[in-house]
């Protein structure tokens, strides 16, 4: 069996495990959209190693042999252009790799506000030793929007430290192994008042865009904190700025914004009750080799004719649990 032709959009970062891939495929390396377009004719597989890079849609007309696109990221929202979605090309993602780091990020954000570290930071700039209020995790309640592998890992970690974690997903249900209860996303505004923490870990789809809107924010407790580690577009950012400015909610930890990078002029930067990180919640010291090993294992499966892991439901926009 001949090696399949594999085009890797490497962007500016070295491709971890490249030699191992070259043993399994006839590799073409592209560093930008133009090189990707040139490499696409005859390519069976595209591996978007630099997942922030664009170019597949621009070169789509030349993708005459494409069967599989792998995106080593959790969210495929930027990748799923209509021609790809309508095609027979299989799309896989990096489901699972970011779970532990993102669960920890959510807990870090929760504890940052629970222990009032924003106030500590402000007081420290003034060299001010002055008592302020803090709160405990035990007995608090978190609502995790997104019941995929990241949301589930988050719920498990929060439960391990004494937080009751409910989920928000496509279908309300009880008896879930990871969530105490799962509410329907359509009921977000009506259930929001019941939570101390709202964690956004949902994929960006037509159904989740702007899910954290003015109505939901108005329903939340003034003491509530939002952690967004999904996509900036899950949030009506103007409504969030308004709620935070008016202390309608207590704080927000944002790993994702709309747009990214967040422009220097954006009012979010200036709010004392906001902490912004530049889209790194899934990072870890091991995530690059883990991503490489995950793709390599799928490439071996591809060559052997076995089913691929982590196939994205292109209509839904994410990997269906268990799939």
* Interacting residues with a second copy (CB under 8 A): 100-101, 104-105, 107-108, 111-112, 114-117, 120-121, 123-124, 127, 129-138, 157, 160-162, 260-262, 264, 266, 269-270, 274-280, 283-286
User: Is 117 or 180 the residue whose CB approaches a second copy more closely?
Assistant: 117
Give me the least distance between CB of 264 and a second copy, in Å please.
4
Give me the least distance between CB of 208 and a second copy, in Å please.
23
User: Is 63 or 153 the residue whose CB approaches a second copy more closely?
Assistant: 153
User: Is 2 or 133 the residue whose CB approaches a second copy more closely?
Assistant: 133
Give me the least distance between CB of 108 and a second copy, in Å please.
4
User: Is 76 or 274 the residue whose CB approaches a second copy more closely?
Assistant: 274
Cis? peptide before 114, omega within 30° of 0: no
Give me the least distance between CB of 182 and a second copy, in Å please.
23
User: Is 75 or 282 the residue whose CB approaches a second copy more closely?
Assistant: 282
Rg of the chain over CA atoms, in angstroms?
A: 21
Question: Who contacts 100 (Cβ-Cβ below 8 Å, separation ≥6)?
Answer: 153, 284
Give me the least distance between CB of 311 and a second copy, in Å please.
27
User: Is 89 or 224 the residue whose CB approaches a second copy more closely?
Assistant: 224
- The pair of three-digit structure tokens given for residue 137, joined into one six-digit string: 């995790």
* Contact criterion met (CB below 8 Å) for 249 and 218: no
User: Is 190 or 286 the residue whose CB approaches a second copy more closely?
Assistant: 286
* Contact criterion met (CB below 8 Å) for 49 and 31: no
Q: What is the DSSP string of 256-272?
A: --SSSSPPTT-GGGG-T
* Contact criterion met (CB below 8 Å) for 90 and 311: yes
d(CA 103, CA 98): 8
- The pair of three-digit structure tokens given for residue 3, joined into one six-digit string: 């090696």
Torsion, CA 180, CA 181, CA 187, CA 191, rounded to 10: -40
- The pair of three-digit structure tokens given for residue 195, joined into one six-digit string: 């939570």
Among candidate residues 150, 56, 51, 47, the one with its CA nearest the CA of residue 102: 150
Quickly tell me which residue has 């080593």 as its tokens: 72
d(CA 230, CA 204): 7
Quickly tell me which residue has 């793709």 as its tokens: 295
Give me the least distance between CB of 227 and a second copy, in Å please.
11
- The pair of three-digit structure tokens given for residue 30, joined into one six-digit string: 């592209």
User: Is 168 or 199 the residue whose CB approaches a second copy more closely?
Assistant: 199
Give me the least distance between CB of 160 and a second copy, in Å please.
4
d(CA 258, CA 42): 36
Give me the least distance between CB of 114 and a second copy, in Å please.
7
User: Is 123 or 184 the residue whose CB approaches a second copy more closely?
Assistant: 123
Give me the least distance between CB of 269 and a second copy, in Å please.
4
Among candidate residues 162, 145, 156, 153, the one with its CA nearest the CA of residue 111: 162
Strands 173-174 and 141-145: unpaired
């Amino acid at each position: 069996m001949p090696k399949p032709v594999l085009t890797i959009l490497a962007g500016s970062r070295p491709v971890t495990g490249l030699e191992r891939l070259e043993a399994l495929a006839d590799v073409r390396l592209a560093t930008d959209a133009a090189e990707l377009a040139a490499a696409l004719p005859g390519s069976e597989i595209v591996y978007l190693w630099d997942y922030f890079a664009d170019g597949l849609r621009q070169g789509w007309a030349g993708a005459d042999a494409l069967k599989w696109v792998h995106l080593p990221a959790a969210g495929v929202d930027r990748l799923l252009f209509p021609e790809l979605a309508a095609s027979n090309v299989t799309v896989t993602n990096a489901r699972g790799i970011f779970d532990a780091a993102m669960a920890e990020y959510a807990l870090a954000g929760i504890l940052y506000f629970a222990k009032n570290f924003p106030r500590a930071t402000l007081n420290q700039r003034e060299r001010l030793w002055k008592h302020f209020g803090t709160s405990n995790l035990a007995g608090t309640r978190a609502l995790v929007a997104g019941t995929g592998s990241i949301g589930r890992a988050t719920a498990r970690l929060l439960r391990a430290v004494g937080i009751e974690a409910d989920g928000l997903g496509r279908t309300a249900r009880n008896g879930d192994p990871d969530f105490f209860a799962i509410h329907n996303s359509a009921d977000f505004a009506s259930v929001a008042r019941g939570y101390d923490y709202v964690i956004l870990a949902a994929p960006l789809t037509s159904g989740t865009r702007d899910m954290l809107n003015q109505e939901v924010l108005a329903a939340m407790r003034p003491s509530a904190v939002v952690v967004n580690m999904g996509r900036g577009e899950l949030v009506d950012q103007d409504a969030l700025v308004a709620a935070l400015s008016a202390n309608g909610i207590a704080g927000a930890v944002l790993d994702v914004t709309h747009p990214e990078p967040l422009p220097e002029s954006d009012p979010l930067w200036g709010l004392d009750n906001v902490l912004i990180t530049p889209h790194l919640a899934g990072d870890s010291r091991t995530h690059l080799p883990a991503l490489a090993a995950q793709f390599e294992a799928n490439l071996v499966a591809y060559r052997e004719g076995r089913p691929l892991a982590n196939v994205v439901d292109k209509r839904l926009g994410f990997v269906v649990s268990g799939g």
